[in-house]
């Protein structure tokens, strides 16, 4: 985060791919410093560019994330059904466009097959263990999900339990979840 960033915290997003389904779950807390500003924010969204079903979760500035989601939708309309290509094109723009470079957000996106983390550093990452997590409590959710992924639990249950564990540990994460599933 840049030095000018005002100290907003309060997002945990986790993506789980298991059993032919992909689930993205996000909490609802937005904090500024030590103050919870909102507990019911919706940071997981379903997009339908060109009739293709995409789910995206974001961490960071909401306005910045919405700007990125609009750009992602435009990339998906230009490359229908090619989520990875659209993500790579978005990441390239994010690194080179002076306006986009200032955006403070990260994304987890899926089309039900691919699962990607897209960052402003130009990264498009596909997780090795079918688990991705971002945000203030991302490391806690990632560790919990990695521990649960090889159990008999389905993708949604893994996501919900991982988010619950993150909310118990991270003061910038709460239990008000938005969960979207594809597959």
Token pair 């008999």 is at which residue? 152
Least confident of 14-28, 46-60, 75-89, 146-160: 46-60
| DSSP-assigned states of every residue in 57-79 | EEEE-HHHHHHHHHHHHHHHHHS
pLDDT digits (tens, 9 = 90+) for 98-131: 777 778 889 999 999 999 999 888 899 999 899 9
Distance, in Å, from the CA atom of 55 to the CA atom of 41, rounded to the nearest integer, reads: 16
Name the residue range of residue 124's domain: 8-173
**Cβ(105)–Cβ(117) below 8 Å:** no
Residue 17: count of CB within 10 angstroms of its CB: 24
Residues of the chain above pLDDT 90, percent: 69
Asked, for residue 180, whether it belongs to a domain, the answer is: no
Give a yes or no: residue 3 inside a domain: no
The pLDDT confidence band at residue 159, using thresholds 50, 70 and 90, is very high
Q: Which residues sit opposite 159 in a β-bridge? A: none
Residue 181 lies in a domain: no
CA–CA separation, 9 and 134 (whole Å): 12
Residue 178 lies in a domain: no
Which residues are catalytic, by number? 11
Query: Higher model confidence: residue 48 or residue 107?
Result: 107
Beta 178-182 vs 35-38: how paired, if at all?
A: unpaired
Q: Is residue 1 part of a domain?
A: no
Residue 156 belongs to some domain of the structure: yes
Distance separating alpha carbons of residues 66 and 121, to the nearest angstrom: 18
72 is a domain residue: yes
pLDDT (0 to 100) of residue 9: 56
C-alpha–C-alpha distance, residues 119 and 37, integer Å: 25
Asked whether residue 2 is domain-assigned, the answer is: no
Structure confidence at residue 175 (pLDDT):
95
CATH number at residue 65: 3.60.20.10
Tell me: the pLDDT tens digits for 58-78? 998 888 888 889 999 999 999
The Cα 11–Cα 64 span in angstroms is 14
Q: For the chain, how many structural domains are there in total?
A: 1
Q: What is the pTM of this model?
A: 0.91
Q: Do β-strands 124-125 and 105-110 pair in parallel, antiparallel, or remain unpaired?
A: unpaired
Sorted by sequence, the CB contacts under 8 Å of residue 150 that are 6+ apart come out as: none
């Amino acid at each position: 985060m840049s030095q000018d960033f005002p100290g907003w915290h309060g997002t945990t997003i986790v993506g789980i791919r298991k059993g032919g389904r992909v689930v993205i779950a996000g909490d609802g807390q937005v904090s500024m410093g030590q103050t919870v500003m909102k507990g019911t924010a919706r940071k997981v969204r379903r997009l339908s560019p060109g009739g293709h079903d995409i789910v995206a979760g974001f961490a960071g500035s909401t306005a910045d994330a919405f700007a990125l989601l609009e750009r992602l939708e435009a990339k998906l309309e230009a490359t229908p059904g090619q989520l990875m290509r659209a993500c790579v094109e978005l990441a390239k723009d994010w690194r080179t466009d002076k306006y986009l470079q200032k955006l403070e957000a990260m994304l987890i996106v899926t089309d039900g097959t691919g699962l990607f983390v897209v960052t402003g550093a130009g990264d498009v990452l596909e997780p090795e263990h079918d688990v991705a997590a971002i945000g203030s409590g991302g490391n806690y959710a990632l560790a919990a999900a990695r521990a649960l992924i090889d159990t008999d639990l389905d993708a949604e249950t893994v996501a919900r339990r991982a988010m619950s564990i993150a909310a118990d540990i991270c003061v910038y994460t709460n239990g008000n979840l938005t969960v979207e599933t594809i597959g």
